[in-house]
Each structure stands twice: as C-alpha cells, then as structure tokens.
Chain A
Amino acid sequence: MTMTETAQSTSQQTAAPRALKTPFWRAMIALAAKDLRIEVRGRELINAMLLFAALSVLIFSFALELDRTARETSIAGVLWVTVVFAGMLGLGRSLAAEKDRGNLDALLLAPVDRAALFFGKMLSNLLFMLVVALLLVVLSTVLFNVSLFKPWLGLVIVLGTVGFATVGTLLSSMAVHTRARETMLPILLLPVSLPIILSAVRASTAILTGAPQEDWIAWPQLLFAADLILLALAYVLFDFVVEE
C-alpha cells in the first residue's frame, strides 16, 4: 500500500473505531452477568467452593484444637486461608471453562476492550469469593461463638478479596495456557498474593481481638494501596496475556 492510500484510508475513518467499540462498562457487566447466570443455573462452581470452605473450617477446628483463647487469635488465619484456597478452586474452573471450548477466542473476537473482559471476569470471581467469605463469617459465628459481624472486618474482607481476585484472575488466565495448569495456579498465585493475605490476616486478627484502632489501621491502608497497584498492573498487563 502506498503512502497516499494509507493516508486516505485513515483520514476517511479516523474517529470511527472508537464508536464501533462496545462501551467498557456494558461489556464488563455483560460478561459478569453471563457468569452469574450460568452459576445460578448450574451452581457447579459455587457449590464446590462452599462445600470446600465448610470442610476446611471443620478440619482446621480439629487440627488446631481451637479452644476459647486460640479461637480469637487464629480464626482470622483460618478464615483467610480458606477463602484463598476456595477462591483458587473457583479461579481455576472459571477460566478453564472459557478456554476449553474456545470461548476465550469468542470473547476476544468481540469489539471490546481487553481490560473490560478482564474486569468482567474478575468481577464474577470476586462475587463468588465474597459469597464464600460471607458463609465463613456466618459459620464461624455459629460454630466458634466468635462474632465476626464487625463493619471494619467487612471492609477488610472486601479489600482483601478484591486484591486476591485481581491478581488471581490475571494469573489464572496465564495458568490455563500452561502444562499441568491445576498445579501451576497455586504455585504462581500464592507467593505473589502473600502481601494481600498477610495484611488481611493481620488486620482481621487485630480487629477480632479488639486491639485499639491505631495499632492496626496501617494494615487496611496497606491493603488498599496493594489493591490499587494490582488493579493498575492487571489493567495494563492483561492485554499482553491474551494477545498473540
């Protein structure tokens, strides 16, 4: 193609590509809504996650012999470890479901910002994790007689799961393309999400033991900063994961 032709074709249609793109929010919501609809109908993922979470709490309570004093200090750790492992269960399945029947390609064929696809997927993963966390809060309150219904704890749970779902969605979209992907996801994800898990556990423990706010307020702040950084990284890096 000659220079003049190139110039013509761009000048004729300069502004158009933007207009042809599906709006970011609409694409993102459509994708998340699709995942929720499949889940509401089949409940394959969420049932497995919830059952796993319940089993995990029971096993922890046997293994750690959680007595009255041990409960307050270790319940937060139990909660987060369970959320993380149940979350990984969900992450692996959710992206494998897109990849195995080629649906990931179908999503990429749409005139949609790649980041919108990422955030749609991340949103549905996040919702599943929050459901698991809610179950755990109820379960621990009933089983261990430790009330977890505290507004600050709620905030920490949201901040922690947002960070974990972000980095988890990014890394599981890479893990599905590797050999032995079921083992690859935890290996990739656990070391990298350590800052989030660590801050979330520290904050939760302090809140549950009733420590004064100035002692632990740094942890939710760190979590918030980590979330922002991870969201920005995922926004930039997801393009490189999906394009060939």
Chain B
Amino acid sequence: MIEVRGLVKAFGLLPVLRGLNLSVERGAFVALLGPNGSGKTTLMRILAALSKPTAGTVTIGGWRLPEEAAAVRAQLGVVAHQPLLYDGLTARENLEFYARLYSLSRENRAARVDEVLARVGLAARADDLVRTFSRGMQQRLAIARAILHRPHVLLFDEPYTGLDQDAAAMLDALLGDIARDGHTIVMTSHDLFRARALSTHVAILSRGQIGYYERSAAIQPQELPALYAEVTGAASVR
C-alpha cells in the first residue's frame, strides 16, 4: 500500500532522511519508533503530501508523490499531535466543514458525520463547542475527522501526546477498533509497549533510515527496550 524507495529529505544542507526504504502492505498497522530528531515527523509529513522529498520515490495506493498528491490526499486520513480543529465551532460543524472539503455529497454528509461521532463516542457532545472539550475528547474528534471520508491509509503522528491515562486507554480501544476496519495505518510513538501491542509491525527509525523492521508478534515485549537501544544507540553516539 505504501512504497518508499531511497527517500532523501534535506533541510538546507542538513539531511534528515538518508535513503529511506519502507514497504507497508495493505491492512498493516506499522508502529514507527525512533528518538527525537530521527525524522519521524519529517517522514510522516512526506507521506501526508505536506512536504516534498528531496530525492527518492513514494507511492501510496499506486499513486506517486508529489505528482499525484491530490489523489493521495483523497485516500489519506491524518491525526497529528495537534487536534487540527476549530475551537469556535461545534464538533458537528467541524466535521461538516471537513466533509465539504472532502466533497462528501450533501445527502451522505449528515449521516456520515453522525456515524463517526457515534464511533468515537462523542454523539452526546456533538453540538458543543470544541473549546469546551477535554484534550482526550479533542483527540477522539480528530480521529473522527481523519476517518470521515473513509480513507484507505491512516497516519497517526504521536496521537497520545498530552493524554492522561484514562484518555489514553480510551484511545487504545478506539485505535484497535479502527484497525479492524482494514485501514493501512502508520503511527509514530514514543511508547514502545503500547506501539507493539497495537501494531502488526514495528519499524525503528535511526540515522534517517529504517534500522529495524519486524512483525510485532515476533518480538517479545521484554526484549523491545534493549532492541530499541541497540538499533538507535549507534545514532545517539554522533
């Protein structure tokens, strides 16, 4: 579903991604791990067609980036660490606005908005201003926004940022539920155990490349910290 070949991204003279290769099959849930500055967010922004690669090829669902960006965008849902919502609008108004941007037809719009609101457990608060929502509720609404247009691929960039335990547990359940829909998912995270538990594959980013890629089931949870330190350790020396 996602094919990345020889991806290079440099900011000015500083290369962040150095010839990165990644192949994600349809329906996989990849947890992307790596220390700060390893290029996780940069990679996510390129996959989301927000940033152009310096070199290399990226295809998502057969569409090439950046040439066919519009087609990629239409089948992509993104949740970032910021909720990307408008404070001054209600939950429903936020979703309706995005539904219009994704050209959902007028008839389907209201029904689909109700459906995703129920899905993330916000049906009761649909007509309250987002300003009054807790951080966890905002993040759930952000997920509703991301799945609104039934995208094939979901990108989650640190979705757990700023959530308390209860909200995080709720997000766990929600992500597990969404993963069962057959979306292809890439999620960046700092939480090794949570990432392994949710995902089907674990990828560790190091020195601007994928330093490790394995099925989650093949990794013992207790081995993960040592493995992570080993893969990224080489990078932290520099």
Which A residues form the contact surface with B (CB < 8 A)?
A: 1, 6, 9-10, 12-13, 16-18, 20-23, 26-27, 30-31, 34, 37-38, 41-42, 44, 101-103, 105-113, 243-244
19 contacts between A and B (CB under 8 A): A6-B64, A13-B63, A17-B70, A27-B100, A30-B97, A34-B97, A37-B89, A37-B93, A38-B86, A41-B88, A101-B83, A101-B84, A101-B86, A101-B87, A110-B73, A111-B73, A111-B103, A244-B50, A244-B51
Contact of A42 (CB < 8 Å), options: B49, B57, B88: B88
Q: Which residue of B lies closest to A117 (CB)?
A: B101
In the complex, given contacts A109-B76, A112-B101, what are 11 additional A-B residue pairs having Cβ atoms less than 8 angstroms apart?
A6-B64, A21-B70, A22-B101, A22-B102, A26-B100, A27-B103, A34-B93, A102-B83, A102-B84, A109-B50, A110-B102
Let me know if B10 is at the binding interface, CB within 8 A.
no
For the complex of A and B, list the 5 residue pairs with the smallest distance between their C-beta atoms, beginning with the closest.
A102-B82, A106-B84, A30-B100, A22-B103, A17-B71
CB pair A9 B64 closer than 8 Å: yes
Which interface class (under 10, 10 to 19, 20 to 34, 35 or more) fits B? 35 or more
Q: Which residue of B lies closest to A41 (CB)?
A: B88
Contact of A101 (CB < 8 Å), options: B50, B62, B74, B82: B82
CB pair B71 A16 closer than 8 Å: yes
Contacts of B83 in A (CB 8 A): 101-102
Let me know if B232 is at the binding interface, CB within 8 A.
no
Contacts of A9 in B (CB 8 A): 59, 62-64
Bound complex: CA of A38 vs CA of B131, how far in Å?
Answer: 12
- Chain A proximity of B40: nearest CB distance (Å): 16
Contacts of B97 in A (CB 8 A): 30, 34
Let me know if B91 is at the binding interface, CB within 8 A.
no
- Chain B contacts with A in 80-117, Cβ cutoff 8 A: 80, 82-89, 93, 97-98, 100-103
Contacts of B76 in A (CB 8 A): 109
Q: Which residue of B lies closest to A100 (CB)?
A: B82
Q: Which residue of B lies closest to A12 (CB)?
A: B62
Bound complex: CA of A102 vs CA of B82, how far in Å?
Answer: 6
CB pair B48 A109 closer than 8 Å: yes
CB pair B5 A1 closer than 8 Å: yes
